[in-house]
Amino acid sequence: MSGLMLDDPDGTLEMLRDSVAGFAERFDGPEGFRARRDAGQDLDRTVWSAMAEAGWLGLHLPEEIGGAGLGVAEQAVLSEALGRALISEPLAQLSVFAGVLLAQGDGAERDRLADGLIAGTAIVSPAWQGRDGAPAPLVARVHGEDTVLTGALCHVSAPVSATDFVVLAEAGGDWMLLSVPAGAGGLSVDAAPTLDGAQLGQLTFRDVKVPGNAVLARGNSARAALEAAVATTRLALAAEMAGIAAEAIDRTVAYTRDRVQFGKAIASFQVVQHRLVDMWSDAEFAQAAVVNAVETLADGPGKAADLAILAAKARAGDAAVTITRRAIHLHGAMGFTDACDIGLFMKRAVALNATLGQPEELRLLFVAREGVAA
Amino acid sequence: MEAQQDWNALSDDAFREIFREWVDANCPSGLRFMRKQRPVFDEVAEWYHLLAEKGWLSPVWPQEYGGMGLDAGKHIVYVEEWARLGCPRIPDHGIGLTGPLLIQYGTPEQKAFFLPKILSGEHVWCQGYSEPNAGSDLASLRTSAVADGDGFIVNGQKIWTTLAHCANWILLLTRTSSDGPKRQNGITVMLVDMTTPGVTVRPIPNLRQETDFCEVFFDNVHVPSANVVGEVDQGWALAKAVLGHERIFLGAPSRPEYAIRRLERLARDRGAFDDAGFVARYAKLRLDLYDLGSAFERFARVLRAGGTLGPDVSVLKIFCSELYQRITEEMLTVAGEDARYWDDLPTGEGDVDAMNLYLDSRAPAIFGGSNEIQRGVLAKGVLGLPG
């Protein structure tokens, strides 16, 4: 048994898996990872455009704004397949997170961003976190029709390639989500390389002025949009990490079957076998946790779905990180080289695991939400 | 016994409702959530006979033999509700082992004679498989059965025979030949009356200082040929085949679930939830249990869809038994100095049997194929690793 075992009555999920497999033949994941890293890029625009052509970027956006209107199961299957293929463009942030924010917003500016996001012509990057990862709204002051923004936001994906940012700001205790064009006056970008061969940025706003129609959502709907984006993206990340976990164990099984020492394949040694079994077991549990989250969320949002998503992200994160780490060890000295792909899977796993909450933090959120301590 | 309806025609929820309501109303309250994992027959006889009368003693036997005829999906519901309501485990080797074996491989005479006596409780069965030198390596068993006139003469010893001291029949694996190229050949399944001269049972006190397993000695015990199941020398395949979808229950979350509720009770009483270190460790255990539920569902779904389980189901047994251990280990940490005591620990919400569970949790990682054996099964059967 392997893969995300989800009901697929009309074959959509199978088509998505095939679509990623075909894509990976054109754009090899590990090669693309190294090329982007070595070029110091934050995004491979060629790959990104091809992903738009494949119809993946607006997968979960509602049809009213030009998306495919598909559900969480489709997103999970897509993300899982991308994880397996190590196609490491920041789809979780630039498509899923940004897409959920836009889906919850309204107005002409929202429509323009959604069109660009789906087509791959606009790179819409969410910016809302402080250094510690928590929401850190900019200070917004209202000047007539305009809004003036001050402050700094961290962990922003594709900070150099972005054409637009969706930023979190606060005025008088009210949260708002605003559209800010890259290159706006007073906005500066500091990019730093990431473990997974891309760049993240810190945005500094010094009296950045945006017009009134830049507001995409405010008040409770801004808060709700952000919460929904975090939850949906966590699930996509969980699926992607479940894919990394499954691929890493497959590759390690293949390697240890081929690698001969003492006249035997090292996979014939019991100590190696039991380690491989434990890795495989962790990957199975990650898949099961993701399926559970997809199905629980499909039954509707609420406490049960919140718990299921927290569990899935924690489980898949632990699985992907520890499996890839153990996989490097089982690849021996070869595993310590940059030429060996397994190390790239580990780096990607660590980076995704650190995104939107590490396992322990998520587990603590889970038990607090469940409330058995009282 | 009441006539049975077609339970499989009901939805799982409808069946759950009916089953739960009757069980909750009828299972004696004094037998719920027993401290003892394996009570002897007399301790739970009342519940056994109530189930038999209702026709619900034997969930998976076909209705023509007096069972409920549940498919795997409904059987999962049965087992889940049983655990949820804290019903005691009954001596169930007749229901779960001998019965299914006879239904599949027994002669008409064997079925007609033995099956009703299992349901009535007249025959209480135990399982004579393991031997002192044939545990994980079961196929090396040596208890010999030598043909003699109209039967066999059996000599040898079995061990770890659960509840043999309250059983009157034993399902025995014997060595009838050692000529074949493989040790698995030459093993025969026999039905042995434990009142036959030459059978001696000696209980073995376990880690919990209870007796739920025994040694059973065979000294020139005569077994009639009519009590051989299937063909002589062909018993290994039978013994293997009888374990079908039931393998999923070795990984059912009910034991760790019970243990974590007791851990929570103890932790609330001792203020452990104010300790960040405890909360982090508890959260890991809690999520492991939650995810075990998701993984269990992954296999249950296969069964509900009419599929069969592969060797991969062993993953549940390993995870479940190791999680049970980790939870009980944490209980002792929370107990602090109180972990020096044998007795249950009092809390504001009732006693917590921390030491009892700690000791009990050593067993599931060993029985039913130790976790190392299970890992070997997964390595070969799922990952296809070379031998």
The CA distance from A230 to B96, in Å, is 48
- Closest among A111, A112, A76, A116 to A96, alpha carbons compared: A76
Contact A180, A149 (CB under 8 A): yes
The CA distance from B173 to B126, in Å, is 12
Which residues fall within 8 angstroms of residue B3, CB to CB, at 6 or more apart? Answer: B55
- Could you tell me the CA-to-CA distances from A129 to A57, A100, A184, A203, A222 in Å, in that order? 23, 16, 20, 10, 14
Residues of chain A in contact with residue B293, where contact means CB-CB under 8 angstroms, are 292
Buried b or exposed e, range A82-104, using 16+ CB within 10 angstroms = bbbbbbbbbbbbbbbbbbbbbbb
The CA distance from B41 to B24, in Å, is 21
Q: Using CB atoms, pick whichever of B284, B292, B382 lies closest to residue A280.
A: B382
Provide the residue count of chain A.
374
- Closest among B134, B139, B201 to B170, alpha carbons compared: B201
Domains along the sequence of chain A with CATH: 12-119 (1.10.540.10), 124-218 (2.40.110.10), 222-370 (1.20.140.10)
Q: How far is B18 from chain A (nearest CA, A)?
A: 25
Where does residue A22 fall: left (phi above 0), alpha (psi -120 to 50 degrees), or beta otherwise?
Answer: alpha
The answer, yes or no, to whether residue B180 has pLDDT greater than 80, is no
Across A51-65, A195-209, B258-272, least confident range: A51-65
Q: How far is A231 from chain B (nearest CA, A)?
A: 18
The per-residue pLDDT for A2 is 64
The per-residue pLDDT for B36 is 83
The answer, yes or no, to whether residue A65 has pLDDT greater than 60, is yes
Q: Over range B322-343, report the average pLDDT.
A: 97
The CA distance from A204 to A188, in Å, is 5
The per-residue pLDDT for A253 is 98
Pair of tokens at residue B297: 């569902």
CB atoms B318 and A264 under 8 Å: no
A311 reaches B (C-beta below 8 A): yes
Across the A:B interface, residue pairs with CB atoms under 8 Å apart total: 108
B386 reaches A (C-beta below 8 A): yes
Q: Average per-residue pLDDT in chain A?
A: 96
Of B246, B257, B330, B337, catalytic: B246
Pair of tokens at residue B256: 């760790």
The answer, yes or no, to whether residue A66 has pLDDT greater than 90, is no
Where does residue A263 fall: left (phi above 0), alpha (psi -120 to 50 degrees), or beta otherwise?
Answer: left
Q: Residues A246-263: pLDDT tens digits?
A: 999 999 999 999 999 999
A270 reaches B (C-beta below 8 A): yes
For A268, nearest residue in chain B (alpha carbons): B386
The CA distance from B175 to B188, in Å, is 6
Three-state DSSP class for residue B248: helix
Share of chain B above pLDDT 70, in %: 100
The answer, yes or no, to whether residue A1 has pLDDT greater than 70, is no
Q: Using CB atoms, pick whichever of B280, B319, B385 lies closest to residue A268.
A: B385
The CA distance from B170 to B298, in Å, is 35
Q: Over range B362-378, report the average pLDDT.
A: 94
Q: Average per-residue pLDDT in chain B?
A: 94
Concerning whether B246 is annotated as a catalytic residue, the answer is yes
Question: Domain B125-238 sits in which CATH superfamily?
Answer: Butyryl-CoA Dehydrogenase, subunit A, domain 2 (2.40.110.10)
Share of chain A above pLDDT 90, in %: 91
Contact A141, A147 (CB under 8 A): yes
Share of chain A above pLDDT 70, in %: 99
The CA distance from A364 to A344, in Å, is 29
Q: Using CB atoms, pick whichever of B291, B302, B382 lies closest to residue A315.
A: B291
Cα atoms found within 13 Å of the Cα of residue B253, Cβ hemisphere only: 18
The answer, yes or no, to whether residue A373 has pLDDT greater than 80, is no
Domain locations in chain B? 7-90, 125-238, 243-381
Q: Residues A285-323: pLDDT tens digits?
A: 999 999 999 999 999 999 999 999 999 999 999 999 999
- A164 φ, ψ to 5°? -145, 145
Residue keyed to tokens 């739960």: B20
Three-state DSSP class for residue B200: strand
The answer, yes or no, to whether residue B71 has pLDDT greater than 80, is yes
B25 reaches A (C-beta below 8 A): no
Which residues fall within 8 angstroms of residue B80, CB to CB, at 6 or more apart? Answer: B16, B252, B254
Q: Using CB atoms, pick whichever of A270, A288, A364 lies closest to residue B295.
A: A288
The answer, yes or no, to whether residue B9 has pLDDT greater than 60, is yes
H-run or E-run covering A258? helix A220-258
- Could you tell me the CA-to-CA distances from B181 to A116, A164, B21, B184 in Å, in that order? 71, 74, 54, 9
Which amino acid type is present at position A261? Answer: Q
Q: Residues A315-354: pLDDT tens digits?
A: 999 999 999 999 999 999 999 999 999 999 999 999 999 9
Which one is the CATH code of B243-381: 1.20.272.10, 2.40.37.10, 1.10.10.60, 1.20.140.10?
A: 1.20.140.10
Q: Over range B320-324, report the average pLDDT.
A: 98
CB atoms B290 and A307 under 8 Å: yes
Contact B176, B182 (CB under 8 A): no
DSSP B202-238: EEE--TTS---EEEEEEEEEEEEGGGEESSTTBHHHH
- Could you tell me the CA-to-CA distances from A17 to A53, A247, B302 in Å, in that order? 16, 14, 21
| Beta strands at A174-181 and B169-175: parallel, antiparallel or unpaired | unpaired
The CA distance from B162 to B366, in Å, is 14
Three-state DSSP class for residue A176: strand
Residues of chain A in contact with residue B282, where contact means CB-CB under 8 angstroms, are 367
B302 reaches A (C-beta below 8 A): yes
Q: Residues A92-118: pLDDT tens digits?
A: 999 999 999 999 888 999 999 999 999
| Beta strands at A187-193 and A146-157: parallel, antiparallel or unpaired | unpaired
The CA distance from B93 to B58, in Å, is 11
DSSP character for A321?
Answer: H
| Beta strands at B187-193 and B169-175: parallel, antiparallel or unpaired | antiparallel
- B209 φ, ψ to 5°? 60, 30
ipTM of the complex: 0.94
Q: Residues B231-287: pLDDT tens digits?
A: 999 999 988 877 677 889 999 999 999 999 999 999 999 999 999 999 999 999 999
Q: Over range A25-46, report the average pLDDT.
A: 97
What radius of gyration do chain B's Cα atoms show? Answer: 22
The CA distance from A236 to A344, in Å, is 19
